[in-house]
Amino acid sequence: MPLNIVLATSVLGLLLAFWRMRLRSKTSSYRTLPLPPGPKPLPLIGNTFHVPKSTEHPWRTYAKWAQTHGDVVHIQVLRKHLIVIHSLDGVHDLFDRRSSIYSDREITETIKLTGWDWNLGMMNYGQEWRAHRRLFYQYMNEQIVHTYDAHVRNGTRHLLKLLHRDPKAYVRHLRYAIAEVVLSMTYGIKVESGDDSYVKMLEAAMESAEDALLPGSFWVDFMPVLKYVPSWVPGAGWQKKFAAWREETNAVRNVPWDNVVDDGPVPSIASQMLDQLSHLDTDARTRMVQTVQKVCAVVYAGAADTISSTLQTFILAMVLYPEAQGLAQAELSNVVGHRRLPDFSDLSALPYTGALLKECMRWQPVGPLGVPHRCTADNEYRGWLIPKGAVVFQNIWSILHDPETFPDPEKFDPGRYLQDGVPNPDVPDPAAVVFGAGRRVCPGRHFANTVLLLSVTRILHAFDITPVLNTDGSPINPKVEMTSGFVTHPVPFACDIKARGSWAEALIVG
């Protein structure tokens, strides 16, 4: 071997060894740092008994801890480190600025046992996730989502009819209408009127997401060996629950896919994705078809529950805050008039109505703890060690209820985003928080905004939303009570939804 190659190889080897030594010493130096503060752990079991139950609004408990310990709170359960971030700066510092090591997910036993591991939102950061996310983005980016406007118009128009016909069942109608929009654009499926089998299927699957996907919901997340305990063992009834949930999550992936229709004037997302594969050989095509199937199911699973839950919160806010409702309706009457329904072209002229939607997202965020990120390398943050493998949450609820940024945070007040009738740039937009951050930021956010804005403006234009009345004529104001879990929505409440006048009735049925 020529001498210069030997020399070059040796120098390279030395550099490599030096770099690895530095890396090792750096890693070990991080290990001497303290962990971020948090409730005092007990020997061996750490904070095992501190972990708030997923059924008890854990974001409120974490927020209380943050008042004592600061915006970065750490707990340890057996060998697992959980870190909860309570400030937007903290979220940006870690999820955005250090995204190369904060973009993984913790694939808990619960995720595998409930069968959600086909969902790109639950995948490890790597090639498979990248391929799914790229495909998803191609059909959900900011520009492309407007090609689905016709589906959104039809769905929201139908929603008004359903609400008019049977206002008491508003929750069912919201879920049905969103399912209708998403299934038609994704699979070309026209849901028969009154057929809520798709809605029920997703509801059943989402029950597992709501009950089980926050780490700590089930002990098996911290002690994986428990997954081998047979279901007949006393206390292991959760195994049967998981088996049933697995069937439901698989149904979300398979049932709409088996019913893809390809006869509409605009091809569905599924058929466009499949067309893209025509040049591939059989093996590559088979593999990619599976990816397409999963990505389509993620559109449905990601959209349906989050959007309909936000709309339920909107209805609750309108019942409780009639002055906000009145201001938005006055704006709509001014801009749109009484001869037509609002459309996408009106949205930029409706600052108060836009602010009202922002406030719905802030007041009761649909995913109060977001989706946890997993950190893939030891690193130092503000003098603390964030250990490799730590599960890092952003407490979205707490960030959006910080009284310094949002005074009187429990109050629903769209006016807080406006100054002299135009958006106030000094008030943060909750949309920059509720959809998460970094490389895993919600890729469905543009579509969610589109559907939410048109739904909210059309419902407000057409209806008055009021409390139901007691026998003595006094209003029964519902309590602000949210379900607890991965995704939340208001606990069911009664309200009245009535057309705003004969002009509105004509628009609804027309």
Of 135, 292, 303, 497, which lies in the binding site for ligand HEM, with binding defined by CB under 6 A?
Answer: 303
Q: What is the DSSP letter of 477?
A: P
Of 440, 461, 489, 500, which lies in the binding site for ligand HEM, with binding defined by CB under 6 A?
Answer: 440
**Do 484 and 54 meet the contact criterion of CB atoms below 8 Å apart?**
yes
Dig out the tokens for 218 from the structure.
């089930």
CB nearest ligand HEM: which residue?
444
Count of CB atoms within 10 A of residue 79's CB?
Answer: 9
Dig out the tokens for 165 from the structure.
């016909």
Distance from C-alpha of 49 to C-alpha of 382, rounded to nearest angstrom: 27
Q: Which residues between 308 and 327 bind ligand HEM (CB under 6 A)?
A: 310
Interface stretch with ligand HEM, choices 199-207, 297-305, 398-406, 476-484 (CB under 6 A): 297-305
Dig out the tokens for 350 from the structure.
């409706």
Closest CA to 319 of 417, 421, 460, 415: 460
Distance from C-alpha of 255 to C-alpha of 198, rounded to nearest angstrom: 9
Question: What is the radius of gyration, based on Cα positions, of the chain?
Answer: 25
- Which residue lies nearer to ligand HEM by CB, 48 or 99? 99
CB of 371 to ligand HEM, least distance (A): 4
CB of 431 to ligand HEM, least distance (A): 9
Count Cβ atoms within 10 A of the Cβ of residue 228 and give its class: 0-12 exposed, 13-18 middle, 19 or more buried.
exposed
- Which residue lies nearer to ligand HEM by CB, 39 or 409? 409
CB of 152 to ligand HEM, least distance (A): 11
- Which residue lies nearer to ligand HEM by CB, 99 or 466? 99
Q: Is 86 in the site for ligand HEM (CB under 6 A)?
A: no
Of 170, 176, 393, 435, which lies in the binding site for ligand HEM, with binding defined by CB under 6 A?
Answer: 435
CB of 372 to ligand HEM, least distance (A): 8
Interface stretch with ligand HEM, choices 34-42, 73-81, 244-252, 369-377 (CB under 6 A): 369-377
Q: What is the DSSP letter of 104?
A: B
How far out from the chain centre does Cα 237 lie?
29
Q: Is 299 in the site for ligand HEM (CB under 6 A)?
A: yes
Distance from C-alpha of 367 to C-alpha of 84, rounded to nearest angstrom: 14
Coil/strand/helix, residue 77: strand
Whether residue 495 is annotated as binding a ligand: the answer is no
CB of 221 to ligand HEM, least distance (A): 18
Q: How many binding residues for ligand HEM (CB under 6 A)?
A: 29
Q: Is 148 in the site for ligand HEM (CB under 6 A)?
A: no
* Secondary structure of 307-348 in HEC code, one letter for each residue: HHHHHHHHHHHHHHCHHHHHHHHHHHHHHHCCCCCCCHHHHH
- Which residue lies nearer to ligand HEM by CB, 328 or 452? 452
Q: Is 437 in the site for ligand HEM (CB under 6 A)?
A: yes
CB of 400 to ligand HEM, least distance (A): 11
The β-bridge relationship of strands 379-381 and 384-386 is antiparallel
Interface stretch with ligand HEM, choices 24-32, 236-244, 304-312, 346-354 (CB under 6 A): 304-312
- Which residue lies nearer to ligand HEM by CB, 441 or 480? 441
Q: What is the DSSP letter of 118?
A: G
H-type alpha helices, 420-466: 431-434, 445-462
Q: Which amino acid is at 446?
A: H
CA dihedral 183, 463, 168, 298 (to 10 degrees): 20
CB of 469 to ligand HEM, least distance (A): 31
Interface stretch with ligand HEM, choices 53-61, 225-233, 273-281, 363-371 (CB under 6 A): 363-371
Q: What is the DSSP letter of 196?
A: -
- Which residue lies nearer to ligand HEM by CB, 299 or 350? 299
Closest CA to 362 of 315, 413, 404, 305: 413
Residue that has been written with the tokens 């209820």 in this structure? 401
Distance from C-alpha of 88 to C-alpha of 90, rounded to nearest angstrom: 5
**Do 288 and 465 meet the contact criterion of CB atoms below 8 Å apart?**
no
- Which residue lies nearer to ligand HEM by CB, 136 or 242? 136
Interface stretch with ligand HEM, choices 51-59, 213-221, 315-323, 432-440 (CB under 6 A): 432-440
CB of 441 to ligand HEM, least distance (A): 5
Of 88, 160, 298, 328, which lies in the binding site for ligand HEM, with binding defined by CB under 6 A?
Answer: 298
Q: Which residues between 100 and 129 bind ligand HEM (CB under 6 A)?
A: 120-121
Site string for ligand HEM, 40-79 (x = CB under 6 A): ----------------------------------------
Interface stretch with ligand HEM, choices 25-33, 303-311, 459-467, 469-477 (CB under 6 A): 303-311
**Do 356 and 456 meet the contact criterion of CB atoms below 8 Å apart?**
yes
Q: What is the DSSP letter of 490?
A: B
- Which residue lies nearer to ligand HEM by CB, 304 or 504? 304
The contact set with ligand HEM (CB under 6 A) reads 120-121, 133, 136, 140, 298-299, 302-303, 306-307, 310, 366-367, 370-371, 373, 434-438, 440-444, 447-448
Show binding-site residues. 442
Show binding-site residues for heme. 442
